[in-house]
Amino acid sequence: MPANKGSASDRLQRFERNSQNLASAQPAVMEAFWRLHKQTTATAALDRKTKELIALSISVVMRCDDCIAHHASDALNAGAKRDEICDALAVATLMGGGVGLVYATHAIEMVDQLLDRTE
């Protein structure tokens, strides 16, 4: 399956598998990245949910479907509700214009897929 295709769950599984493969080749780099990820998304002045909504919005503006799947899943796991995600996607659309709108539609599709999986 091409890297740009598949459901949100498919993308997450492929990302996990490929991350493990990369970690085998570059363990120090991947360990450092995941430490940065864990530290950055930990609750501090902003809670984890807010940080994941920000990350999801940035993923939309950066046009990274795999990042969208990852941060949509993490936002839901952090307690974000669909309406909160839609609000964040509106901000991403503001900042990303028409192309941002296209990727925001990718994001809500993935959110809905993930919600179907968890409900």
**10-residue stretch averages of pLDDT, the chain, 119 residues long:** 69 94 96 96 96 98 96 97 98 96 96 84
pTM: 0.89
Kindly report, residue by residue over 79-104, the tens digit of the pLDDT.
999 999 999 999 999 999 999 999 99
CATH architecture of 8-118: Up-down Bundle (1.20)
Give the pLDDT of residue 2.
39
Residue 76 · residue 108 · CB < 8 Å = no
